[in-house]
Amino acid sequence: MIRFIPASLLLCFFGIFSGQVVAEKLHLAVYPGQEPGPSMVILSLNTRNMETVADLAWLDSAELFEVAGDDSFQLHRLVFTVLEPPREFDFKTVKGIRQNFVIKPALPDDVEVVAQITIEGNVLLSNRVKVVRSKDGFRDAAWAAILLKDPQILTDIGERLIKQQPGQTHGYRYRGLALEMQGRFAEAEEDIKIARIIFYENNPPIDTDGRMIPNWEPPEILDRALRRIRAAQEG
Amino acid sequence: MIIPSSDSALSVMFRVLTVVCTFIWADHANAGGLGDFLKAIQSLDQSIQKKVQDALGAPEPDNRQAQEEQPGTKVTTTPVTSNKIQIKAQPGLAKETEEEEDDEDELNLISSEKIRLKPDAILQEGVIGTTGKSESGEIATTGSSAGEGNNGQAEVEPQILQTSDADEERLEAEKGEIHWRGAITFVIRSTEGVDSVGEWIESYQLNVDWIETHRIEVRNAREELTGVLVIFADHDSRWRGEVSGTTIQQCQQRSYQGEGMGVKTLQYAWTYFSLSDDDPIQGVMPTGTYHVTGHSEEAAIGIGVYKSLCGTPFSDTRDWPFFGLKLMNMGREVWRPMPCSTARTCRSATFRPSVPFISAEALKDKLERESLLELGLRVDPQTRIVRDGVMQGHYSVPVIGLVDARSSTKSVDLTWYIERVVETDAILELAAENWRPEHDNEANTLSVTASIEQPAIPGKFRFTLFDVTREKGWAMNAGDKDDDSLDLEFVDGLDGFLAPEETSDGWEIEANRAMTTETVKIKANDYGAWGKLKCEVNVDGHWWPCRSDDGKEYVTIPFDEDENKIADFWEEQEGVSGDAAVDDDETPEGREPGDGFSNYEEYRGFQINAEWTDTNPTEKDLFVHNASGLAEIEGAINQFEIKTELTVHKISEDELDLASRIVNFNRGSKQALSRRGNGQKGLIVVVRQLDDLCGEAVSDYSTGAVLGGPNITKEVVIDPSCLFDTTAIHELGHGVNLWHPGGRYLDQCGEKIIAGLRTPYAGPMKNYMRYEYAGKYIGPDNKCYKYPSHLEIVPSSFTKSLRGTGMNSGPPDRWEYDTLDGVNYPYPVSADATCSGTLIDKSMSLNQDARPAPGGC
């Protein structure tokens, strides 16, 4: 069900908002996903003031809206599901609380999404995010599947990519990660190793003069996967 | 008919003439004698003077009456028959006999307030008139006197026309007044008629010191100040005159002798100064027009001696009223404000006193009307103009209308040179030292005051802002890039000022009133706004420049003695000085000083997270845009700032140019020498799937460099799966030209990349720039070994040392037993770092483009 709420009303609330949390930042990140899968939305309340105590319950009031077309003053409430409770994070100088939301079906291209939470009767709006998908649509679907820990979708994407682009790493990487999720570590290791080989072929560390490229970085995602898999294998 | 010979004819004529003269004498003797005859002549001259007076229109009493009414005035009249008076042949001199000396005890002032006698040769010979003392007790003499020697005038001053010490003190005390000082030579020549020979001459020398007493504003219909009428009065003027001459007409000889001196020279005088280009009366009374009419009561005093040359000799001597200064006219009299003693009464002489100024249009009408009518006697028909502060002129004209019944003539010869001696000294105060420009902050206006210090008379001020900067936008990274409007302006609507007008390089604002002090308010439209302010004040039609306390004709806005466009207080506060284009931030230490922003740019400041701030010119600043907005990246940037000791500013996407990544996109003046006009770029951190990599510092290969500072690093990309580790810090390190600790690539031992000497795994373990977790390494024995991952540590700093720590530490060729697998391993694994580019204090760089790779990399 979609209800319409005047955005100006929200802004009005925001304008008169006062208190310590007004300096905090409600940040919305959207991972668009791809149909038939869902979109993922991550809502974080960053407390720059390290003395601010954020209450996880604040995120219970979270609401998500799609801005209707070009009319910034009309919002469509979005329906979402929550897979896990909000959690705290601490990145030393930045800490806060965060929650993931699943919107299914996936959000269409180019729509704008905004979130709000209500704290002690005051409304705090997030940044607005426009849904923009990568050129390679599989990346968005794969990342949503990773975040949702959905090995099936990831396997499907990986196998399709292995067939379509055998000279690229992502098919093996996605399938390897899906196999890792499923606990099929040997198969996973195999796929990740293949991905590493392809990576080095496609991204040699040295230039044509045989010198190491100064800002060349190793395939850390693959290496980490291998380390996890091996660690898992070793028990 | 018998025609007589010429001799006989002359003889007959002589007899007839003698008879006639006898009858006339007898007649006059009966009716008062020769005295009445002389009175008749005197009366005639008085009637002529009356004509002059009427023509001049001054309402003062008759000159003779004035003399008669003067308290204590003594007119010496001596019968010609008396032998007590002897007229010497020397012109202009008369001697008084000893019998007259008693009269010298009665010293009287005639008309001058203060008359001092100069003991020149003539006076030594004797002066016609009386001698008196002023109220102050000074010896005062005027008119005629008689007698030998100096007449007992012991206290005469040796140089009456020179300035004494006392005068100097007085002049000092009179600072603030405007004086006109100079000399006038004035001569009146008179004849008795066509059948008369000879002439008598009144000659006057004036040393004038006039003072400007009143100023009457003239305003146009919009009540804008367009001009000022200035009224003069005598201040310390002196005049001296003498009269001499003889005329002979048939049997009559008339001799005139006189002398005098005084301190009154002006009946009235004025000048007009236009203060506006849009002055309605400029056409009829140009700026500098002046008129002077000499004092109606001041003239030499002397005697007229009538002597009969035929028949029985007789003579008569009378005090004689000479014309004196009343015939002294300079400039056509187009306006007559007198009599008046205050600006109000001067004004009311012509116009309604209730209006506090004269209407320019009404005055124009009046002037044009009077110009057409040509009212009154105009001895000097020319319009005279003050030029360069000087009244100067000469004319020699017959005095029209002063021809008496005996066809006598008079002519006037006048030469004058009078200077305005006091210059206007106006002071423009320096800008407040602790003021700096701010964009669009009405509360941050700067008030600057200018005052006329000398003379303290009101003038119309004009302030000019010039050389004003036109920086784009209003801060280095804020405001419209296409906006190059003036960065300083006058606050509009200032009381007493017209609306400001824009010029090519600033603004001009003009007062709409005459004041001795004016204050303008200046507002800035840019945090780097700079300009110069000058002031001029129009006193009597001449614009005088104001001077600042430091002797310049302008002040800088803001206060900036070295004019490097940075407010001095800010430089002092930040510990910098000199060239504002310098970029030599010293801390933290790196490959070279500087951060890509000049001192001026750091002073002008930046918009950071929607708030403006200036930056410290001694500390290196790095601008980073966290395009992801993710808290993980923000945390990483914060950590990066802490570890590098850089001042890192997290800016939003509109606070740098996203396409070029240039932060100071509004740069203009005083760009950093280090950047050579190229601007300084910031780092952009994005979170994007990188497939296999955790992070990448993407170089702008068009620069020709693979690694460098922010001007080389196109993008720092972090994969979303690597947000929780130090990847972002590592990649940001590349963004400030930090390198991996070694550049040796090893792909042995069945691995694509392994650790070992001079590899990126070398050096201090905690170095953010080091690779972690190799699968294997090559030991000093050149054999492959399993990488001791259990000895890895989480990076926590950038390094200033190449020396290896942990598994990379020395001494070399040591073997350690690994309890995990029960095998001995050779150490160090990768040993010391070899690439100096990994050293933060040697390689970190913000302001350079492509540079050669550091050694050992």
Task: Kindly tell me if the per-residue pLDDT of B48 is higher than 60.
Answer: no
Show the tokens assigned to B35.
């005295």
Sort out which chain A residues have CB atoms less than 8 A from B722's CB and list them.
220-221
Distance spanning both ends of chain A, measured CA to CA: 48
Closest CA to B830 of B787, B801, B798, B795: B787
Residues 6+ apart with CB under 8 A from A161: A138, A168, A170, A171, A174
Beta strands, E only, B652-738: 683-687, 695-699, 713-718
Choose between B665 and B14: higher pLDDT: B665
CA distance A50 to A57: 18
Q: Out of A92, A139, A217, whose CB is closest to B696?
A: A217
Going by pLDDT thresholds of 50, 70 and 90, the confidence category of residue B345 is low
Backbone angles phi, psi at A99, to 5 degrees: -150, 140
Which pLDDT does position B401 carry in this prediction? 57
Average pLDDT over residues B591-596: 96
pLDDT of residue B268: 85
Whether B110 has a pLDDT exceeding 60, the answer reads no
φ/ψ (deg, to 5) at B282 = -55, -35
Give A120 to chain B, closest Cα distance, Å.
Answer: 24
Q: Which chain A residues are Cβ-neighbours of B692 within 8 angstroms?
A: 169, 173, 195-196, 199, 219-222
B771–A contact, CB cutoff 8 A: yes
* Rounded CA separation B4/A61 (Å): 152
Pairing outcome for strands B621-626 and B683-687: parallel
Q: What single string gives the DSSP state of each residue in B645-677?
A: --EEEE--GGGS-TTT-BS-TT-BTB--GGGTT
Q: What's the mean pLDDT in B656-681?
A: 95
A133 touches chain B (CB under 8 A): no
* Structure token pair of residue B256: 């005139």
* Amino acid in position B743: G
Note whether A146 contacts B721, CB cutoff 8 Å.
Answer: yes
Facing residue for A143 by CB, picked from B642, B720, B857 = B720
What's chain B's average pLDDT?
78
- Give the model confidence (pLDDT) of A46-103 as tens digits: 876 656 677 888 898 999 999 876 656 678 899 999 988 999 988 878 888 999 999 9
- pLDDT, one tens digit per residue, over A137-159 is 788 999 999 999 999 999 999 99
Which pLDDT belongs to residue B140?
Answer: 28
Interface contact A206, partner B, CB < 8 A:
yes
Number of inter-chain CB pairs under 8 A, A vs B: 105
| Residue B341, pLDDT score | 55
B692 and A134: CB-CB below 8 Å? Answer: no
Q: Are B408 and B191 in contact (CB under 8 A)?
A: yes
At B733-766, the pLDDT tens digits run 999 999 999 999 988 898 889 999 999 999 999 9
CB contact under 8 A, A93 and B694: no
| Chain A interface mutation, best of B654, B692, B857, highest count of A Cβ atoms under 10 Å | B692
Name the residue in chain A with its Cα closest to that of B735: A215
Q: pLDDT tens digits, residue range B388-420?
A: 889 999 999 887 655 454 567 788 999 999 998
- Asked if B529 contacts B506 with a C-beta cutoff of 8 angstroms, the reply is no
For residues B260-286, give the mean pLDDT. Answer: 90
In this prediction, residue B118 carries a pLDDT of: 25
pLDDT above 90 for A22: no
Q: Identify whether the C-beta of residue A131 lies closer than 8 Å to the C-beta of residue A111.
A: yes
pLDDT recorded at residue B353? 57
Distance CA B850, CA B843 (A): 13
Tell me what the mean pLDDT of segment B145-172 comes to: 34
- The pLDDT assigned to B343 comes to 56
Task: Answer with the residue of higher pLDDT: A169 or A58.
Answer: A169
Q: Residue type at A126?
A: S
Contact B692 A222 (CB under 8 A): yes
Residue B425 has pLDDT above 90, yes or no: no
Of chain B, the percentage scoring pLDDT greater than 90 comes to 51
C-alpha distances in Å from residue B599, one per residue of A184, B471, B493, B560, B604: 61, 15, 35, 14, 9
Break chain A down into helix, strand, coil percent, rounded to 5: 40, 25, 35
Q: Do A94 and B740 touch (CB under 8 A)?
A: no
CA B172 to mean position of chain CA atoms? 23
pLDDT tens sequence across B483-525: 999 999 999 999 999 999 999 999 999 999 999 999 999 999 9
A14-23, B111-120, B584-593: segment of lowest average pLDDT? B111-120
pTM assigned to the model: 0.68
Question: Per-residue confidence at B2, pLDDT binned at 50, 70, 90?
Answer: very low
List, in sequence order, every residue forming a beta bridge with B182; answer none if it has no partner: B208, B418
Residues making up chain B, counted from first to last: 857
Between residues B571 and B107, the one the model is more confident about? B571
Q: Which of A96, A80, A8 is nearest to A39 (CA)?
A: A80
pLDDT in tens, B61-107: 333 333 333 333 332 222 222 222 222 222 222 233 333 333 333 32
B836 vs A53, which has greater pLDDT? B836
Joined tokens for residue B785: 């070994």
What tokens were used for A115? Answer: 């979130």
pLDDT in tens, B642-651: 999 999 999 9
Which comes out higher in pLDDT, residue A191 or B114?
A191
pLDDT range class, residue B38, cuts 50, 70, 90: very low
**Pairing label, strands B197-219, B358-359:** parallel
For chain B, what percent of residues have pLDDT higher than 70? 75
Residue B117 near chain A (CB below 8 Å):
no
Compute φ and ψ for B793, nearest 5 degrees: -130, 160
pLDDT of B44 higher than 60: no
B381 in reach of chain A (CB within 8 A): no
Dist. CA B474–CA B485, nearest whole Å: 10
Tell whether A219 lies on the interface with B, counting CB pairs under 8 A. Answer: yes
pLDDT of residue B671: 96
Minimal CA separation from B610 to chain A, in Å? 13
Q: Would the pLDDT of B832 be above 60?
A: yes
Per-residue confidence (pLDDT) for residue B404, from 0 to 100: 52
pLDDT tens digits, residue range A115-135? 999 988 888 999 999 999 988
Residue with structure tokens 């953010």?
B768
B752–A143: do the CB atoms touch at under 8 Å? no
Q: For residues B352 and B116, is the Cβ–Cβ distance under 8 A?
A: no
Contacts 24+ apart (CB under 8 A), B712-715: B712/B737, B712/B849, B712/B850, B713/B683, B714/B661, B715/B684, B715/B685, B715/B686
How many Å from the N-terminal Cα to the C-terminal Cα in chain B? 153
pLDDT over threshold 60, residue B158: no
User: CB distance A93–B632 less than 8 Å?
Assistant: no
Shortest alpha-carbon distance between residue A163 and chain B (Å)? 17
